[in-house]
Structure 1
């Protein structure tokens, strides 16, 4: 049986990965930090040797972008060292490693969309630590896929969609940043993309073009536009009586400890060419808006 080890199993993507992998017939070891500290190399090696996965998917990360500016050691331990140990352990048993990364590895000041070949220039600790993780995985295991994504949302965990629905039920007006652009990406679609690649890594490894890929949502929008789409769908499905008034803010109007990319638009043509994977359709993912409603 195909065996897959999923880290960060309680997170947005990890939760979807676990559900989909089990449904698709994988023998799944789904773990989170309560079962494995990925920053402890001996523990990582021991668990990998015991389970003997064909593929490891690392969905664990320190994603608190603002906290990362002060929690530097923690960020690098989880975002660089953990992926390194997982990649090394995978390599030791000839397993593949699939690792989730981020648009934050770029400066975010490009006019067009970012391809995998564009210069990397993270603007904060989170992006720098995630880039270090990419580099560590690449160095540790030739059978690697780095999947950069952005603006992740899903039914499980905390995200922008859930925050908007909660605030929309409490307030008549909201200020939303309108000068940062990207592609909202459904966690379930990220999971599906990773599992398709994992399947190929097991059944036809010689045909896999290992390396860095982008996977994100289309069409590209700003946060203000994304919020309006969320509220339009919530009103349409009678989750909200009416949409709050949305006021457009600039990044300067809403200062944060960590700098946000003005441009998070990722070019997803490479992953389509190599694996036939289409960009995430975030409009479709919002169709059942009640699934994101606060409980």
Structure 2
């Protein structure tokens, strides 16, 4: 049984974020256009819009007033975001004060996000392919769009249709937002833009959302969900409505193994209708 993520070896504030002293940079929305650029030790007041390959952001902090923290644009690849704190100022940004993505991968290949402390953003880690490991996502803030509607919130969200692999391994993923204010999941694998395939969800601490995990839906294939802990810190069944939804038990290559609640009980998804 686990009393808290940090007590049981999962990421928290002590194991994520920058490891060195930082220098303030008031960048605003900064466009990064130099291949191989390394941003290290920056305390950024703004956001990064990446139009370059093989950019690394490491040992830094981003406090955004935009709808993203770091956004990799289509046609570019190789982004790495490591040991960085990414947060936002609620009430800022162009979408009526809504903040969406801490890290967004709009590029055509995998990116790496590791040992990062991420908060506030409604959809913290947004991508169809990438290597997400050892991150601490917490204190997501609900927000309305310009039409006054609550927007969905997820610690990790993928819309499907990806051509590469998405690996989500050894993260603490918390979504404390109430359902009536838009909570979707701790991990949301949705078929919004295509079939969900080739996803590894391994060894994470999950809590919150309507369901803690949305598993990809009836067409999902190659989804491996193993050795995750589902916590009741916000809801008795991890999510407001339950632990898992949209799990395709019969999909080719789908694996469900070793998942349990924080008090040690096995988690078995209910058959999808």
TM-score normalised by structure 2 residue count: 0.29
Q: Which has the larger radius of gyration?
A: 1
By relative contact order (CA 8 Å, sep 6+), the higher-ranking structure is 1
